Amino acid sequence: MPEGSAEDVRVGIDMSVLREFNTGTEEFIEGLVGGLDQQGLQVVGLGADEPLDPHQDRLGQPLRTKRSPLQKWDWERSGIVRAARSAGVDVLHIPYMTHPPAPPGLPTIVNVHDVIPYRFPGYQRRLRDRRYFAALRSRLPLATRLVAVSQATADDFALVFPRCAASLVVIPNGVHESFFEAPTPEGEAELARVLPLPDRPRLLYVGGYQAHKNLELLLRLAARTLIELDAELVLVGGAGRPQLEMLAGSSLKGRLRLTGRLSRPALRALYGASRALLFPSRYEGFGLPPAQALAAGIPVLASRGPALQEVLGEAALFADPDDVDTWAENLVRLVTDEDLRKRLREKGWAQASQFRWAAVAARYRNLYREVSGS
């Protein structure tokens, strides 16, 4: 790993969420550490079990059991500060939306990936959740800089946290370099073990099954179009089978497949074997799977919304999240019109180039220097 120059600051990044690498935050951390390594900047992994290796999946960290809410609360209140002071870092980077309840005595950077908990009441049903998100209203203004992953997220965050507007900056999320490259033989072999080779056009959804992901529209769309197009739909990443089982006895049996989570090489291979990505989410802070799809060279059909339109630009087709008629029309076009897919692929590669982690990490490196006065 290259040594940082004398002008570089010593940055500590909170790694406490690196457990089973099942969330976008963990993907973000791995990408950022790898990008900073390309910039020649070493970071300290606060809360990591082993020294970070940016050249390994999971940064070389072993899997760990998920923390209890009390352990998470204690770490965010005081554990992260103790770890930063013990490591002697100049800047504390917390890559998710939290902050210690008192100024830690060094500059802090906090990432804002979205404001979903404040927009969707289902995320604050429990008393402990309501207390947690209420506490953030007094904590987040203490951050030196808050980094939103899109301008749309920055705008939404400023409405929820008006006291933080002056400290907000926008740096987009990054896409792992492997999605810009051809699928590996290992990834294709792993995918073949999970899914049989398709004998029909394959459509893809990547993401969770939370209410705002709008899987209801996806299933209505499948019922309307899959037989007509002689296509199949693969759902990747969700936990649970209720939606799939709901259609198991219908005429779509055998055309809907659920994989659960895939490794990055297998996911890259699946993008390469798919005709299009369908992303009907009602709200996103960035939209990582669509950005990955652009990098991998497959067209995207997405819900019309500020963040997704910002990230995808003119490289995708859009429809309102409740307009199944327009979704169906656009999907038929994507599956049957090779010229359209070619135009979207070319636009997609150009659009995705701004999300390479080396370029994104360079902006973080400049931000570290700015807040530390270097």
The pLDDT tens digits of the residues spanning 215-259 come to 999 999 999 999 999 999 999 986 555 555 554 445 677 788 888
Query: Is 288 in the same domain as 145?
Result: no
Look at residue 5 and tell me if it is in a domain.
no
User: What's the gap between Cα 285 and its chain centre?
Assistant: 9
Question: pTM of whole model > 0.85?
Answer: yes
Q: Encode pLDDT of 22-72 as tens digits.
A: 678 889 999 999 999 999 998 999 999 889 999 988 898 888 888 888 999
Domain that holds residue 86: 11-174+356-372
Nearest-angstrom CA–CA distance, 107 and 241: 44
DSSP assignment string, 117-180:
HHH-GGGG-SHHHHHHHHHHHHHGGG-SEEEESSHHHHHHHHHH-GGGGGGEEE----B-GGGG
> How does pLDDT run across 300-314, given as a tens digit for each residue?
999 999 999 999 999
Nearest to 20 by CA among 57, 72, 74: 57
**121 and 98 inside one domain:** yes
Residue 247 within any structural domain of the chain: yes
CB under 8 Å to 207, separation ≥6 — which residues? 213, 236, 237, 238, 279, 281, 289
Q: For 6-10, 26-30, 86-90, 264-268, which range has the lowest pLDDT when averaged over its residues?
A: 6-10
Bridge-based pairing of strands 202-206 and 276-279 is parallel
Cα 242–Cα 246–Cα 247 angle in degrees, nearest 5: 130
Whether 315 and 279 map to the same domain: the answer is: yes
Query: Is 149 among the domain residues?
Result: yes
Q: Tell me, what's the pLDDT at 1?
A: 37
Put residue 47 in one of left, alpha, beta given phi > 0 → left and psi -120 to 50 → alpha.
left
Mean per-residue pLDDT of the chain: 91
Q: What is the pLDDT of residue 67?
A: 86
Residue 48 in domain: yes
Instruction: Tell the burial category of 105 from Cβ atoms under 10 Å away from its Cβ (0-12, 13-18, 19+).
Output: exposed
The answer to whether position 360 is within a domain reads yes
Q: Are residues 225 and 311 in the same domain?
A: yes
Cβ atoms of 99 and 142 within 8 Å: the answer is: yes
**213 and 65 in one domain?**
no
What total of structural domains would you count in the chain? 2
Does 186 share its domain with 283?
A: yes
Q: Do 102 and 193 belong to one domain?
A: no
Mean pLDDT of 269-295: 97
Residues 286 and 304 in one domain: yes
Span 105-154, pLDDT tens digits: 999 999 999 999 988 877 888 888 889 999 999 999 999 999 999 999 99
Residues 246 and 264 in one domain: yes
Judge contact between 13 and 95, C-beta under 8 A.
Answer: yes
In a domain, 2, yes or no: no
pLDDT at 19: 73
Token duo for residue 116 = 């979903």
- What's the token pair of residue 272? 């390469």
Q: Is residue 3, in this structure, part of any structural domain at all?
A: no
Residue 247 sits in the same domain as residue 287: yes
The domain that holds 229 is classified in CATH as 3.40.50.2000
In the chain, at which residue ranges do the beta strands (DSSP E only) sit?
A: 11-14, 43-46, 91-94, 108-112, 145-148, 168-170, 202-206, 232-236, 256-260, 276-279, 300-303, 317-319
Residues 27 and 86 in one domain: yes
**Is residue 1, in this structure, part of any structural domain at all?**
no
Please indicate, yes or no, whether residues 220 and 276 belong to a single structural domain of this protein.
yes
